[in-house]
């Protein structure tokens, strides 16, 4: 049983075991910014590695880049972020709290549904769905809030400001002078670093359309509603891939990538029943998109987007071509034709993905009358893959355990532990998601040169020869599926 009806247990486990901490905690924390601890950094790295392997190593036509976080300010004009990367915000004048206007309405709809007022909820949902398609979005949202007398969630007041657009990009100074023109943005997505390198890659990597460019890296958004742990952060990491295709083949490629990405989530051990795809309705598509869908995960806070797949058409390359004055088209030598490629984008948040892995792995079980908390995750993702213990602190057992620990470290992440009872050590590593624990006991040194391997998921124990430990662990890394 997962027993997760909110994120509280994941937040406490993350802090207690060293997965994720609040940023600058000793100073009271910085809102919506998080640090990864010793276990978290390994988990995140393992997820990133799996993504990278899937997106580059397994494809002979996808290459990687690592573009800088700072980019020329014109990039964000061309991309539309300066003019349009906004959230519609409304302030409660009494509490001085700021909310996203559409979310206030969504919360109100959920309340109506809970109170059995289905018809009213449906009508309001329709109004919300069409908001922005008649006149401006801000006015529509404001009207809905006013007409329905929706009150502020915390203060209960009905004392709102107008709805205003709030740009999500962070701006900072660049260089020693501080004129307005020197301002640069912290990138709000990694994708633009790929678009501006499209020509560099084309000229150097011997790629031909269709081909992809993949990148992982930090992105920054001044999210106003930034709660829910690492689900919505102000500094986060993205893993994006832009696949350049011939116009006309774009929709097939989009469908293919949507299915491939969904399959990847299952391949890293996420339970199928907790995943679904959610296509964006046509009237909700971003201005540049021809088609888009979210891959959603059933988080304890509800079904939410973990990844987006978009058919971005030739919007980005055309915009950068116009703003930079550089040609960004493609010459197909074989067919002797020139065109601007369409782009299929796969974009996943690494932090959101890490949260998904933690939530999906979390189990509470009863063992001999005690509660065991265990993270049943794919062994390839586990921050500590093997625990090595001497049964007790005796030099002859410690010596053998240290030798096994050292040998395994060449290939796996290992934790040596000799403190507390064996049961306590198992529990500690269950909470870290460690799939295999190796114990050296007196039989090992006096009788058989064998150790006990204990499996995290079913707690079964088997004796195996010391020289086979690496082989057994290596085999156990493959083909895991969630129970
Ligand atoms: N280049 C397209 C793009 O950035 P997006 O839907 O805005 O699209 C893609 O973001 C993914 O990045 C999301 O599916 C989500 O996983 C992650 N993401 C976006 N904003 C985030 C935030 N504030 N905190 C954590 N992850 C975020």
Task: Provide the sign of the torsion angle of the four alpha carbons 77, 83, 88, 92, taken in this order.
Answer: positive
Q: State the distance from the centre of ligand 1 to the C-alpha of 441, rounded, in angstroms.
A: 49
According to the model, what pLDDT value does residue 76 have? 95
Q: Which atom of ligand 1 is nearest to the CA of 189?
A: 4
Tokens standing for 409? Answer: 């470290």
The average confidence (pLDDT) of the chain is: 94
- How far apart CA 388 and CA 47 sit, in angstroms, is 24
Average pLDDT over residues 451-469: 98
Tokens standing for 126? Answer: 């329709």
- How far apart CA 231 and CA 300 sit, in angstroms, is 11
Q: Which atom of ligand 1 is nearest to the CA of 188?
A: 4
47-84 pLDDT per residue, tens: 999 999 999 999 999 999 999 999 999 999 999 998 87
Task: Give me the residue spans of the domains in the chain.
Answer: 7-81+170-359, 86-167, 384-478
Dihedral angle at the C-alpha atoms of 463, 412, 388, 426, nearest 10 degrees? -90
Is the pTM higher than 0.75? The answer reads yes
Q: Are 158 and 42 in contact (CB under 8 A)?
A: no
- How far apart CA 218 and CA 337 sit, in angstroms, is 37
- 342: β partners: 245
166-206 pLDDT per residue, tens: 888 999 988 876 665 668 999 999 999 999 999 999 999 99
According to the model, what pLDDT value does residue 174 have? 87
Atom 10 of ligand 1 has which residue's CA nearest to it?
347
* Residue 370, phi-psi category: left (phi > 0), alpha (psi -120 to 50), beta (remainder): beta
Tokens standing for 117? Answer: 């007022």
- How far apart CA 405 and CA 421 sit, in angstroms, is 19
Q: State the distance from the centre of ligand 1 to the C-alpha of 240, rounded, in angstroms.
A: 10
Atom 12 of ligand 1 has which residue's CA nearest to it?
349
According to the model, what pLDDT value does residue 225 have? 65
- Residues with CB under 6 Å of ligand 1 are 189, 191, 221, 223, 232-233, 236, 238, 240, 305-308, 345, 347-349, 351-352
- How far apart CA 145 and CA 105 sit, in angstroms, is 7
Average pLDDT over residues 447-468: 97
334-354 pLDDT per residue, tens: 999 999 999 999 999 999 999
Read out DSSP for 34-75? Answer: EEE-HHHHHHHHHHHHHHHIIIIIT-TTEEE----SB--HHH
Burial of 330 (C-beta count, 10 Å sphere; 0-12/13-18/19+): buried
Q: State the distance from the centre of ligand 1 to the C-alpha of 462, rounded, in angstroms.
A: 44
Domain 86-167 falls in which CATH fold? Herpes Virus-1 (3.30.40)
212-271 pLDDT per residue, tens: 999 999 999 998 766 789 999 999 999 999 999 999 999 999 999 999 999 999 999 999
Place of tokens 């939410």: 304
Q: State the distance from the centre of ligand 1 to the C-alpha of 439, rounded, in angstroms.
A: 43
According to the model, what pLDDT value does residue 83 have? 81
Task: Provide the sign of the torsion angle of the four alpha carbons 139, 144, 146, 151, taken in this order.
Answer: negative
Least confidently predicted of 161-170, 186-195, 432-441: 161-170
According to the model, what pLDDT value does residue 33 have? 97
Q: Is the pLDDT of residue 294 over 80?
A: yes
87-131 pLDDT per residue, tens: 888 989 888 888 889 889 988 998 999 999 999 999 998 888 777
- How far apart CA 357 and CA 264 sit, in angstroms, is 13
| The domain made up of 7-81+170-359 is a member of CATH 3.90.1300.10 | no
4-13 pLDDT per residue, tens: 888 999 999 9
Per CATH, the number for 384-478 is 3.40.50.800
According to the model, what pLDDT value does residue 424 have? 95
By three-state DSSP, how is residue 10 classified? helix
Nearest to 81, CA basis, from 17, 9, 164, 171? 171
- pLDDT band for position 276 (cuts 50, 70, 90): very high
According to the model, what pLDDT value does residue 287 have? 79
Nearest to 434, CA basis, from 375, 357, 477? 375
Q: State the distance from the centre of ligand 1 to the C-alpha of 418, rounded, in angstroms.
A: 42
Q: Which atom of ligand 1 is nearest to the CA of 223?
A: 23
According to the model, what pLDDT value does residue 154 have? 87
DSSP for residue 445: I
Count the neighbouring beta carbons within 10 Å of the beta carbon of residue 321. Answer: 18
Q: Is the pLDDT of residue 159 over 70?
A: yes
């Amino acid at each position: 049983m997962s027993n997760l009806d909110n994120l509280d247990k994941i937040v406490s486990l993350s802090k207690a075991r060293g997965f994720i901490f609040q940023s600058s905690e000793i100073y009271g924390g910085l809102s919506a910014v998080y640090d990864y601890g010793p276990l978290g950094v390994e988990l995140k790295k393992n997820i990133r590695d799996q993504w990278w392997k899937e997106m580059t190593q397994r494809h002979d036509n996808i290459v990687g880049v690592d573009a800088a976080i700072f980019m020329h300010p014109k990039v964000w004009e061309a991309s539309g972020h300066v003019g349009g990367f906004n959230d519609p915000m409304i302030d409660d004048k009494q509490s001085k709290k700021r909310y996203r206007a559409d979310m206030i309405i969504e919360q109100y709809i959920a309340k109506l549904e809970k109170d059995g007022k289905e018809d009213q909820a449906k009508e309001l949902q329709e109004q919300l769905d069409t908001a922005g398609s008649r006149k401006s979005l801000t006015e529509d949202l404001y009207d809905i809030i006013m007409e329905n007398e929706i009150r502020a969630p915390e203060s209960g007041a009905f004392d709102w400001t107008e709805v205003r657009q709030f740009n999500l990009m962070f701006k900072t100074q660049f260089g020693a002078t501080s004129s307005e023109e020197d301002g640069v943005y912290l990138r709000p997505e990694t994708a633009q670093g790929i678009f501006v390198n499209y020509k560099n890659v084309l000229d150097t990597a011997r790629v031909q359309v269709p081909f992809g460019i993949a990148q992982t890296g930090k992105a920054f958004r001044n999210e106003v509603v930034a709660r829910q742990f690492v689900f919505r952060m102000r500094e986060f990491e993205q893993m994006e891939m832009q696949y350049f295709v011939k116009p006309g083949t774009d929709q097939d490629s989009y469908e293919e990538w949507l299915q491939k990405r969904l399959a990847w989530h299952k391949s890293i051990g996420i339970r199928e029943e907790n995943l679904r795809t959610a296509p964006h309705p046509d009237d909700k598509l971003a201005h540049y998109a021809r088609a888009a869908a979210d891959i959603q995960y059933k988080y304890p806070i509800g079904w939410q987007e973990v990844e987006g797949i978009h058919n971005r058409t030739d919007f980005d390359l055309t915009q950068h071509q116009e703003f930079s004055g550089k040609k960004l088209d493609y010459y197909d030598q074989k067919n002797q034709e020139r065109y601007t490629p369409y782009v299929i984008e796969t974009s996943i948040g690494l932090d959101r993905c890490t949260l998904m892995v933690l939530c999906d792995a979390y189990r509470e079980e009863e063992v001999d009358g005690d509660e065991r908390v265990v993270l049943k995750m794919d062994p390839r993702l586990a921050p500590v893959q093997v625990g090595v213990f001497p049964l007790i602190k005796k030099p002859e057992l410690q010596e053998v355990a240290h030798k096994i620990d050292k040998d395994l470290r060449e290939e796996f992440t290992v934790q040596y532990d000799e403190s507390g009872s064996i049961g306590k050590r198992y529990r500690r590593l269950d909470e870290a998601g460690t799939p295999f624990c190796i114990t050296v006991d007196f039989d090992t040194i006096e009788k058989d040169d064998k150790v006990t391997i204990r499996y995290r998921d079913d707690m079964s124990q088997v004796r195996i020869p010391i020289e086979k430990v690496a082989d057994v662990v290596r085999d156990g890394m493959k083909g895991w599926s969630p129970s």
